Chain A
Amino acid sequence: MKYAYYPGCASDSTARDQHVSCTAVARALGIDLAEIAGWTCCGTTPAHQTDRVLAASLPAANLVRARKMGLDIVVTCAACYSMLKMANYEVLHHPKVREQVSEALGQDYDGSVRVRHFVEVLLEDVEIDRIRKALKHSLNGLKVACYYGCLLVRPPEVNQFDDPENPMSLDRLVTAMGGESLDWPHKVECCGGALSLTRTDVVVKLSDAVLTMARAAGADCVAVACPMCQINLDLRQSDIKKETGKDHNLPIIYITQLLGLCLGIAADELGLEKLMVSPESVVKRLT
């Protein structure tokens, strides 16, 4: 099980915890993540807001690197995932864009490299049964609100990740870990996304709605698979408290961190200390 690993910029900064927990989990499950040498930015919001060709070319530059490695590309960041998927979609569906992208890259790119989210690798390639057998600890009925946000599941025709309205991928992992995955209605609400710094007020409002609902559903924590979601929901809890007086105090934890814990990986190898809201209550529940 070998993949071309595309960490994305966040893995070196805001989502370092996701990066380390993902690689630790991969090691534990025998997944070989070969980091793409010389990987570059996926273009993210600034690219797709300004230039269609650029938005496809930047991710495509990484896709051709993976093509050289002859491997599927694996991503942890939902935004990167979406951008890479979109690049494939664009060149596959729009010959004109393909031409322009190829020109920018100096080589033809046909959209053939398979883009996978790490969660997809866990569910489709490793499979739940093997994961279950490898677990050392159980979440012991911990109530987990799995939160997918926008970019994992949308646009559905491009991403084709699970059911766009009621995805269950993270829930299946949580259930396998012995947790109780909650059926709650805000799985795919927007957290505010890239407006984190420019329009904090919007993020505070939207993230508050998500967290309020998670709490109403009885969540002990929220599991995420996207750096943007994680940071908005986690970091903005103090702002929400300031704005609304609501103290959610909900740990926002990467699915790979939860899985790492259950696989018996030490907390410090999973970057748990990086979380703003302490995950101590979660760790304590493990048996």
Chain B
Amino acid sequence: MDNNNNNNNNNKKIGAVLVEGGGIAGVQAALDLANSGFKVYLIERSAAIGGMMAQLDKTFPTGDCATCIVSPKLVECARNLNIEILTLSELYRIEGEPGRFTVTVKKSPRYVDEKICNACGDCTTVCPVTISDRFNRGLGTRKAIAKQYVQAVPNLPAILKLGHAPCKTTCPANINVQGYIQLIKKKEYIKAVNLIRERNPLSAICGRVCTHPCETACTRGQVDAPVAIRQLKRFASDKEMEMVASGQLALPEEKTPSSDARKVAIVGAGPSGLTAAQDLADRGYAVTVYEARPAAGGMLRWGIPEYRLPEKILDYEIELIRRKGVAFVFNCQVGKDITIDKLRADHDAVFIGMGLQKGSALHVEGENLNGVVQGLDFLKAIKEGTADIKDSVFVIGGGNVAIDVALSAKRLGAKEVQMACLESWEEMPANEEEKKQALEEGVIIHTSWGPKKIKGSEGMVNGIELKKCTAVFDDQKGFNPTYDETKTADFETAMVIVAIGSRSDPSLFGTTADLPVNQRGNIIADQYGLTEKDGFFAGGDIVTGPATVIEAVAAGKRAAESIDRYVRKEDQRTARFENTIAPVAEELLPSTAEVEKRPRAQAPELPVEQRTNNFAEIEAAFSEEDALAETERCLNCALCSECRECVAACEKNAISHAMEGQMVELEVGSVILTPGFEEFPAARKGEFGFGRYGNVITNVQFERMLSAAGPFEGHIVRPAGGGEAKRIAFIQCVGSRDSKCGNDYCSSVCCMATIKQALVAREHLEGLDATIFYMDIRAHGKDFDRYYERARNEESIHFIRSMPSRIVQVPDTKNLRVRFAHENRKFEEQEFDLVVLATGIDPKTSVTESISRLGIEPNEFGFCATNRLFPMTTSRPGVFVAGAFQEPKDIPETVTQASGAASMAMELLADSRNTLVVKKSYPDERDITDEEPRIGVFVCHCGMNIASVVDVLQVVDNVKSQPGVVFAKDSMFTCSDTSLSEIKEKIREHRLNRVVVASCTPRTHEPLFRETLREAGLNPYLFELANIRDQCSWVHPLNPKEATNKAIDLVRMSIARAQSLASLGGESLAINQSGLVIGGGMSGMTAALSLADQGFKTSLIERTDRLGGNLLNLYNTLEKDDISGFTAALIQRVENHPNIMVYRETEIARVAGHIGNFLITLARKGEKTDISCGAVIVATGANPAETTEFLYGKSKQVLTQVELEKQIHEQTFSSGGGNVVMIQCVGSRNPERPYCSRLCCSMAVKNALSIKEKDPDAQVFVLYRDVRTYGFRETYYKKAREAGVIFIRYHQDAPPKISDANGLVVTLDSPDFPESLEIDADHVVLSTGVVPGANNKAVADMFKVSLNADGFYVEAHPKLRPVDFASEGIFLCGLAHSPKFVDENISQARAAAARAATVLSKTHLDIGAQVSHVNQNKCISCMTCLKVCPYGAPLVNRDQKAEIVGAKCMGCGICAAECPARAIQLSHFETNQFCMMLDNLLAVGNS
């Protein structure tokens, strides 16, 4: 790099971050970074952000609609000025160093201009190409140009292209076959023909005589038969001619070249010459065609019989070419009538396409006899009306010309026509259609015979002798016939017609102007038609030898381009069209396995008996019906067909098929990888028949099926065989925990996802019965076990612990028989209507490949390699990772880790915060004080969510005339970008001053709409939402009429209230930019360090006299990472950090203040100090549970896992070669403690492996209920089994028993063993789990946050706000949240820091205006409000009256409701507003 270029900001880090992957992880990281002062580039490989979450139906265990909760986040991303979204993009290169990277992003074309498109959807409507929809996992279809999904962000369509279809790439002229077939499908026949003519002016002709190599390549041929491409071309062309004939379509106007046009001479009016002539005329050249014969057409006219190509067709297409301004000079033989030199002298270039005129000779005795005729001469004579015929004719040759000759001879009146060819029937070069016609018409064909001699008498032919041909081709596949001269056959005949090929005519060589000629007499020219002589070009048969019409057309086309380039003096070889036709990669061609077979259309043919004595055309065109049906057989191999209908439909000219990909260079300080995952390809587990059996689907497909916005609109119907799916089997671990397919890991989320799917499905379909086949149920997350227990208690949900071995589809019903070994060890088979495979999480192959290119190490499975103690750190410094690409994980952990990765980037780039961001400015707020209410109403369909029940249009109609309403309309998704823009537009257009949206729920969408009002210059509190989905359509699905009435009432009430809405203003508070962390364990220390590293002063409060917490009792991770060393280093960093103040032996005594300005009173040994801070992180930890079960405390040989780990570490543990029995779930997962402690299974595995390592002879037994070694921990479970650790399952209701009569004995009834087990134990180790900290309650009360039933803190939202509290400015991490591993705590601690940074990075905070206020006159000082407020917002002022602190008030309204004196009003929810709603509802005549 040039030194001058990076002078003054040489060491300055760049305050921007690139996030790759637009799933929920990427979105969260982007939002956190952008909201705390960093510029973000969010890049996404597909056309829209949203990732997997946008494809899910509901989330567990909360039952939220996944799209509904993720959509606002996506929209927030799109609206954030500091987030730039780059779709269809992937990270290509990272250069530079942490803090100063130059990244290159490879951006693929959308083919739609993102700045111009207004998402009107016209292009999608007109697109004829219907393809399988990847978003719906093939359960539905989409158009080639479409939005990725309805609520897609950005809300724009994209065109899917894969390259060029086999038909197009195989066609010598590269005609866009798929394109014109799609146009025919739309009955756009003229457009179809025009598309054909772009590459081939001889459309109607080739529609009859083309050898159609395209059909051989057609993918449909692998299903049943290729699409009848030639006949479709003919059909469209004939339609055009019909329209011309009937006057519906005028012939194009005649053109004449301009007087100063450059001139080109074309020698020969055959297909190559005609094509070159038209192309050059189109480009403005003055073209003259010199033709030796009296009419144009060449071999088309003289060599193809009328019954295959009527002359009128030929004349028609030649006329079209003539009208382009092409001049013809007939009866002019170049070299004789005009010299080649003169031609060259008179023109800028000369094209020679004179074809081959002379038939090849046989070189046998008798060839010169009278009655021996050349086939081409014979065919020409027929056209000229001079053909002679005999009763018996013998044709030599096996090509199309030979058959044309034979059939023509028949038509002329020959009684007997025979043919002989060297080739066998299969080898014959003639088309199958022609061979078939020959047989039909009674031509006798002798295959594998060649002429030996032609016999005659008196100079006249009277017979022919044939000899047996034993092989036509030699080993090199060259034409080199061998004969068995001993086998001969004699035939009598009066005429022999030789049709064995054609060659150039030396007598015409005057034409060639000394052009180099090869040994066969053909002109030497390259693929572009260039000869060695300046200004001379050549193409067609004269260059290639005998070839097809379409090849000649292609040659003419290429030569025209070359001539144009020659005249313009441009390079001949760069950017030639024919070199841009990249075929669709074979693996991307449509799968033919599941395509339903449909017969190929057959064109009607003239009956054989009507073919004699005339030359009427044999084949007719398709009927319209047949043609349209035939177009449906096209599989659209290239996806987009480039028919350009969308271009024509787009009024904004936003679409361009010529758009190209580009490389974008960006300067960023850090990179975060959040590329997500893909599902395991279920077809790899062949025993389940996915891809073979229509009713075996994947879990993601089932999500799409359940989704109201999905292809089945939430109905559970069977893809194959129809009907509802009442009996559903779920099979777990498909592609997970399976070393056979290379996936040794557990995908972590499928158990819960399946339980959710079963529960949700039951709500969709009454009487539904679900059976879940599983290995272990891994419900290890917060509140998961309760959800699992709930499902287990459902009668209609069955859990069977078994891995099915096979699925068999019953042929007639398409039902599925699932075969498995039952718990009772009996082999069973159960029948189901639908089977859902819980496909596991795979890394995306393309991502794994690309990160390797970027210098980032993948792990053994292709995920990003990380370390348990540095879970977000990749092998490349400055590049971080989060989400499922790091390790399979659920949404909350993904969101947490994304925030965590964001904090890593913030730490790295702390100095550059706020250097590259811009602040959003809103237009000045309109003062509406004196305006009459002008209300706009927008009623949302919410896809089908509302519209399937409520008659939306009726609602609109009914509310239009309400007082104050000046505008009302419906919209599909009011929350979409387009609809929001429309709202703004309407506010301006109609000068609206109140807006009512009738849609889903204010909980998720109110902020979005309020923001929209602000952008339109209205106060956000002038917005009102009528909930007609959650509270109407969803609850009354069976009563559409009443639901519609109720919706009308609800909207009317909102309109009434809207009239009284007023503008409200908030206040701005200064923020104290320092943090406080409660808890000096690993989570607290990590969070504090993260804040401190970001430059925020941080106080760390620890209750005991030592930092470290539970870490002090841990020595290694399962993966053998050294925890002890890590802990020591962590403590040292915390203690020495200049930004951290550590308070030991200190507790929180009192909490006052609010977000941005907390006042915390600390107590240390009775001494109190006050400190203030802007944000608080609660990391108070948890404790190992204690127990008295299993003789713990009574026998020295009974210990806990924590104690065992310590003994192992201190080398005081010895198995003594005896049995170690570990008992899992001690005191856990029972009614008293109904949650899973998540850690214990892995801890048991860790300790068991340690024992085995030291003493391989020791017997270790692990007695368990479910082994929950999720994620990569599963590999250690496998290692433990391989090491000989014995895992034995027990049921909750039959736990192990212990006795100590003669040494310890553990007895157990396992469902997997027929008899009771009795194990003598030298040691019994108890997994007692984790219990929440005892003082959680006290802390929770002080901060007014809540605890769940188990005593852990409750986050704001378990999925999308996992480290936030409902109260603002307070965050949560570590074991205080729920039991989890070190790496998870690290992620979460950093996440809490990142979330806190979104507060601390700002100097001021805007407080919401929707707060309560006390009417001091009415207040009776009862202090009820103080007691009821969950956030501690009210206080007693000097006048002994209540007062509410705006910054703390969350606007819940409890105080207003409870105030006995009615002294409290909540702004925006004032009593009079509700009265107006009720008045409206109850008004006479309204109900």
- Docked complex: A170-214 residues within 8 A CB-CB of B: 183-186, 213
Determine if A185 and B686 form an interchain contact, defined as CB atoms under 8 angstroms apart.
no
Q: Which residues of the other chain, B, contact A213 by a CB distance below 8 angstroms?
A: 808, 811
Stretch touching chain B among A46-54, A94-102, A161-169, A236-244 = A161-169
What 0/1 readout, one digit per residue, does chain B (678-695) give for beta carbons within 8 Å of chain A?
000000001101001100
Determine if A184 and B686 form an interchain contact, defined as CB atoms under 8 angstroms apart.
no
- Closest B residue to A165 by beta carbon equals B686
Determine if B686 and A218 form an interchain contact, defined as CB atoms under 8 angstroms apart.
no
Taking a contact as CB atoms closer than 8 A, the residue among A163, A165, A166, A217 that contacts B811 in the complex is: A217
**Residue B1019 CB within 8 A of the other chain:** no
- Closest A residue to B693 by beta carbon equals A185
Q: Which residues of the other chain, B, contact A185 by a CB distance below 8 angstroms?
A: 689, 693, 807-809, 811
Determine if B686 and A216 form an interchain contact, defined as CB atoms under 8 angstroms apart.
no
- Docked complex: B681-739 residues within 8 A CB-CB of A: 686-687, 689, 692-693
- Docked complex: B778-826 residues within 8 A CB-CB of A: 807-812
Known contacts A133-B426, A165-B687; decide if A186 and B692 are in contact (CB<8 Å): no
Q: Which residues of the other chain, A, contact B693 by a CB distance below 8 angstroms?
A: 185
Q: Which residues of A contact B (CB under 8 A)?
A: 133, 163-166, 183-186, 213, 216-218
Determine if B426 and A184 form an interchain contact, defined as CB atoms under 8 angstroms apart.
no
Known contacts A166-B692, A185-B689; decide if A218 and B811 are in contact (CB<8 Å): yes
What 0/1 readout, one digit per residue, does chain B (812-847) give for beta carbons within 8 Å of chain A?
100000000000000000000000000000000000
Determine if B808 and A216 form an interchain contact, defined as CB atoms under 8 angstroms apart.
no
Q: Find the residue from B689, B807, B808, B812 having the highest chain A CB count within 10 A.
A: B808
- In whole angstroms, how far apart are the Cα atoms of A164 and B689 in the complex? 12
- In whole angstroms, how far apart are the Cα atoms of A213 and B693 in the complex? 15
- Closest B residue to A134 by beta carbon equals B426
Contacts beyond the supplied A185-B808, A185-B811, A217-B811: 10 A-B pairs with Cβ under 8 Å? A165-B687, A166-B692, A183-B692, A184-B811, A185-B693, A185-B807, A185-B809, A216-B811, A216-B812, A218-B811
A93 to chain B, nearest CB (A): 17
Taking a contact as CB atoms closer than 8 A, the residue among A133, A166, A186, A217 that contacts B686 in the complex is: A166
Q: Which residues of the other chain, B, contact A133 by a CB distance below 8 angstroms?
A: 424, 426
B1088 to chain A, nearest CB (A): 54
A174 to chain B, nearest CB (A): 15
Known contacts A133-B426, A166-B692; decide if A186 and B687 are in contact (CB<8 Å): no
Q: Find the residue from B692, B693, B807, B811 having the highest chain A CB count within 10 A.
A: B811
Q: Which residues of the other chain, B, contact A164 by a CB distance below 8 angstroms?
A: 686
- In whole angstroms, how far apart are the Cα atoms of A166 and B692 in the complex? 9
- Closest A residue to B597 by beta carbon equals A180
Q: Which residues of the other chain, A, contact B809 by a CB distance below 8 angstroms?
A: 185
- In whole angstroms, how far apart are the Cα atoms of A183 and B686 in the complex? 14
Q: Which residues of the other chain, A, contact B810 by a CB distance below 8 angstroms?
A: 216
Determine if A186 and B808 form an interchain contact, defined as CB atoms under 8 angstroms apart.
yes
What 0/1 readout, one digit per residue, does chain B (422-433) give for beta carbons within 8 Å of chain A?
001010000000
Q: Which residues of the other chain, B, contact A216 by a CB distance below 8 angstroms?
A: 810-812
- Closest B residue to A218 by beta carbon equals B811
B389 to chain A, nearest CB (A): 35
Determine if B686 and A163 form an interchain contact, defined as CB atoms under 8 angstroms apart.
yes
A and B contact pairs by CB, cutoff 8 A, 12 listed: A133-B424, A133-B426, A163-B686, A165-B686, A165-B687, A185-B693, A213-B811, A216-B810, A216-B811, A216-B812, A217-B811, A218-B811
- In whole angstroms, how far apart are the Cα atoms of A186 and B809 in the complex? 9
B2 to chain A, nearest CB (A): 58
B1400 to chain A, nearest CB (A): 58
- In whole angstroms, how far apart are the Cα atoms of A20 and B424 in the complex? 28
A187 to chain B, nearest CB (A): 10
- Closest A residue to B424 by beta carbon equals A133
A214 to chain B, nearest CB (A): 9
- In whole angstroms, how far apart are the Cα atoms of A166 and B424 in the complex? 36
B693 to chain A, nearest CB (A): 8
- Closest A residue to B691 by beta carbon equals A166
Q: Which residues of the other chain, B, contact A217 by a CB distance below 8 angstroms?
A: 811
Q: Which residues of the other chain, A, contact B692 by a CB distance below 8 angstroms?
A: 166, 183
Q: Which residues of the other chain, B, contact A218 by a CB distance below 8 angstroms?
A: 811
- In whole angstroms, how far apart are the Cα atoms of A251 and B1359 in the complex? 61
Q: Which residues of the other chain, A, contact B426 by a CB distance below 8 angstroms?
A: 133
- Closest A residue to B812 by beta carbon equals A216
- In whole angstroms, how far apart are the Cα atoms of A32 and B1070 in the complex? 94
- Closest B residue to A164 by beta carbon equals B686
A73 to chain B, nearest CB (A): 27
- In whole angstroms, how far apart are the Cα atoms of A163 and B424 in the complex? 36
Q: Find the residue from A133, A185, A217 having the highest chain B CB count within 10 A.
A: A185
- In whole angstroms, how far apart are the Cα atoms of A218 and B810 in the complex? 12
- In whole angstroms, how far apart are the Cα atoms of A163 and B683 in the complex? 11
Q: Which residues of the other chain, B, contact A163 by a CB distance below 8 angstroms?
A: 686
A262 to chain B, nearest CB (A): 15
- Closest A residue to B813 by beta carbon equals A216
- Docked complex: B648-698 residues within 8 A CB-CB of A: 686-687, 689, 692-693
- In whole angstroms, how far apart are the Cα atoms of A163 and B691 in the complex? 14
Q: Which residues of the other chain, A, contact B808 by a CB distance below 8 angstroms?
A: 185-186, 213
Q: Which residues of the other chain, A, contact B686 by a CB distance below 8 angstroms?
A: 163-166
- Closest B residue to A216 by beta carbon equals B811
B741 to chain A, nearest CB (A): 12
- In whole angstroms, how far apart are the Cα atoms of A99 and B686 in the complex? 36
- Closest A residue to B426 by beta carbon equals A133
- Closest B residue to A184 by beta carbon equals B811
A270 to chain B, nearest CB (A): 24
A144 to chain B, nearest CB (A): 14
A138 to chain B, nearest CB (A): 15
Q: Which residues of the other chain, B, contact A184 by a CB distance below 8 angstroms?
A: 811
What 0/1 readout, one digit per residue, does chain B (401-432) give for beta carbons within 8 Å of chain A?
00000000000000000000000101000000
- In whole angstroms, how far apart are the Cα atoms of A213 and B806 in the complex? 15
- In whole angstroms, how far apart are the Cα atoms of A166 and B689 in the complex? 8
- Closest B residue to A163 by beta carbon equals B686
Q: Which residues of the other chain, B, contact A186 by a CB distance below 8 angstroms?
A: 808
A201 to chain B, nearest CB (A): 16
- In whole angstroms, how far apart are the Cα atoms of A213 and B808 in the complex? 10
- Closest B residue to A217 by beta carbon equals B811
- In whole angstroms, how far apart are the Cα atoms of A133 and B686 in the complex? 33
- In whole angstroms, how far apart are the Cα atoms of A185 and B811 in the complex? 8
- In whole angstroms, how far apart are the Cα atoms of A109 and B808 in the complex? 41
Q: Which residues of the other chain, A, contact B811 by a CB distance below 8 angstroms?
A: 184-185, 213, 216-218
B1080 to chain A, nearest CB (A): 54
- In whole angstroms, how far apart are the Cα atoms of A216 and B814 in the complex? 11
Q: Which 9 residue pairs of A and B lie closest in terms of their CB atoms, listed nearest first?
A: A165-B686, A133-B426, A185-B808, A217-B811, A216-B811, A185-B809, A165-B687, A166-B692, A166-B686
- In whole angstroms, how far apart are the Cα atoms of A216 and B426 in the complex? 38
A155 to chain B, nearest CB (A): 12
Q: Which residues of the other chain, A, contact B687 by a CB distance below 8 angstroms?
A: 165
B762 to chain A, nearest CB (A): 28
Q: Which residues of the other chain, B, contact A166 by a CB distance below 8 angstroms?
A: 686, 689, 692
